[in-house]
Amino acid sequence: MRTKIATAVSALVTSPRLRALGRRRRALMRRLSGRRPVIHYFHQAGDPYSVLAVQAVPLLRARYGVDVEIHAVSAPDRAAAPEPDMLTAYGLRDAALSGRLAGFSLDADVSALAPDASAKALAKGDALRRKLGHYLGAVFYFEGEWYWGLDRLDFLEERLAPFRRADAPALSIAPRREVTLAPCKTPARPPVFEAFISFRSPYTWLAIERVTKLAAHYGADLKWRFVLPMVMRGLPVPLAKQLYIVRDCKREAERLGLPFGRVADPVGAGAERGLSVLHHAIPAGKGAGFAQSFLQGVFAEGIDAATDAGLIRLAARAGLDDAFVKKALADPSWREVAEKNRADMFAGGAWGVPSFRVEGGAMLWGQDRLWAIEEALRAACESP
């Protein structure tokens, strides 16, 4: 019953109809008050993603008939960003990739755009960010919805389309880049492609199909490196973060043409049971199929993986029978493998999933960076 209630709540939270109603209600309130549209941008000093995001502010003001208010905020607390030192190191490298796509630089002088960061200003900005329901820097808020950094600026611009100035260019400020599966010669040796995944990660669900297609197209040796969910490793996930993630995943799923929203959270027994089956499915050549079935089931179909009926149903879609599932559940050796994978992932500079690397190279975190993984796979194919 608890799972059914949670699934119904998640479906409501991610409901496109509810989202559309909220947008119309806020737009009506704005028009009735006679106010101009206002974007709130939250800037975190020293954050590389904020250095990039604030460079978009003048472009937003120039292209759209909107006001943009900039607020200084503090760094997120450890509950929202549990590995601050790793985030600092990874963020510099990852933001450089993101900036390259948009033509923005981490070396740009943004002092004229950055807001007052006095203690009083920070307290005010933090309070507003908390009230509106977020926890990070480099985020834009517009009439009830959040957009993080350059990665989600295209979604914000979709919302702003009615306010676009007549002379504004049609191209997005920060265009997306997606995998292309471009022609590539068969490699002399299959490049090793590692995918660090979790069965409680909705972003893993968004990535899983593209990951398998990338590996097949570029002749890669795909290694599934499963880990326990973050919260089961003692890393908390605050409510504001949970809400932002499921709503963000919903719009990403819509963009990718994937179902999402009827979530049966597999945290605990569901994830553990799923990983035990995955551990046995991988050497049987059914790892990708089971992972995709499991993730679709728990994030789009409300299937409870903590029950025998639910897990058997998810396994059957991947060609795994009841006997296979029972044998896997009786074997606890998956735990050692999951811990080794976690240690390797941390050693590579990532602490969350999905994360990827090719030929032992730089770790890339997130389904938004699969285009960069494709670059690495193509380079590996073209190397002598």
| pLDDT given at position 72 | 98
Tens-digit pLDDT profile for residues 90-119: 999 999 999 988 899 999 999 999 999 999
| pLDDT given at position 152 | 97
Contact assessment for residue 208 and residue 302, using Cβ atoms and an 8 Å cutoff: no
Q: Say yes or no to pLDDT of 334 above 90.
A: yes
Query: Which is nearest to 203 in space by CA: 11, 6, 38, 353?
Result: 353
* Mean pLDDT value across residues 155-183: 94
> What letter would DSSP give residue 144?
T
Average pLDDT, the chain: 95
Q: How far is CA 301 from CA 11, 56, 150, 322, in A?
A: 10, 38, 31, 21
Q: How far is CA 205 from CA 132, 246, 292, 298, 353, in A?
A: 28, 12, 7, 9, 11
| pLDDT given at position 84 | 83
Q: Say yes or no to pLDDT of 376 above 80.
A: yes
The alpha-carbon radius of gyration of the chain (Å, integer) is: 22
Q: Say yes or no to pLDDT of 57 above 90.
A: yes
Positive or negative, the CA dihedral 268, 273, 278, 279 is: positive
61-65, 168-172, 232-236, 365-369: range with lowest mean pLDDT? 232-236
Query: Which is nearest to 198 in space by CA: 271, 304, 276, 277?
Result: 271
- Percentage of the residues of the chain whose pLDDT score is greater than 90: 87
Give the torsion through C-alpha atoms of 32, 37, 38, 39, to 10 deg: 140
Question: What is the Cα–Cα distance from 297 to 261, expressed in whole angstroms?
Answer: 11
- Percentage of the residues of the chain whose pLDDT score is greater than 70: 98
Q: Say yes or no to pLDDT of 185 above 90.
A: no
| pLDDT given at position 231 | 76
Q: How far is CA 158 from CA 97, 113, 163, in A?
A: 23, 24, 10
Q: Which residue has the tokens 């963020």?
A: 91
| pLDDT given at position 239 | 86
* Mean pLDDT value across residues 118-125: 98
Helices (H), 182-238: 202-217
Say whether 64 sits in a helix, a strand or coil: strand
Helix or strand run (H / E) with residue 372: helix 370-382
| pLDDT given at position 269 | 95
Q: Please, which pLDDT band fits residue 317 given cuts at 50, 70 and 90?
A: very high
| pLDDT given at position 139 | 98
Q: What's at 147, amino acid-wise? A: Y
| pLDDT given at position 381 | 82
Question: What is the Cα–Cα distance from 67 to 217, expressed in whole angstroms?
Answer: 45
Helix or strand run (H / E) with residue 147: strand 145-148
Contact assessment for residue 197 and residue 180, using Cβ atoms and an 8 Å cutoff: no
Q: Please, which pLDDT band fits residue 83 given cuts at 50, 70 and 90?
A: confident
Q: Say yes or no to pLDDT of 4 above 90.
A: no
Q: Say yes or no to pLDDT of 235 above 70.
A: no
Catalogue all structural domains in the chain, each as residue range(s) with its CATH number: 36-163 (3.40.30.10), 192-382 (3.40.30.10)
Q: What's at 13, amino acid-wise? A: V
Query: Which is nearest to 165 in space by CA: 52, 48, 292, 37?
Result: 37
Q: Please, which pLDDT band fits residue 294 given cuts at 50, 70 and 90?
A: very high
Say whether 38 sits in a helix, a strand or coil: strand
> What letter would DSSP give residue 146?
E
Q: How far is CA 353 from CA 225, 230, 303, in A?
A: 10, 9, 22
Query: Which is nearest to 276 in space by CA: 222, 342, 327, 230?
Result: 327
Helix or strand run (H / E) with residue 72: strand 67-72
18-27, 155-164, 226-235, 277-286: range with lowest mean pLDDT? 226-235
Contact assessment for residue 71 and residue 41, using Cβ atoms and an 8 Å cutoff: yes
Q: Say yes or no to pLDDT of 236 above 80.
A: no
212/85: higher pLDDT: 212
Say whether 201 sits in a helix, a strand or coil: coil
Q: Say yes or no to pLDDT of 212 above 90.
A: yes
| pLDDT given at position 333 | 98
| pLDDT given at position 234 | 65
Question: What is the Cα–Cα distance from 238 to 244, expressed in whole angstroms?
Answer: 10
| pLDDT given at position 85 | 85
* Mean pLDDT value across residues 55-68: 98
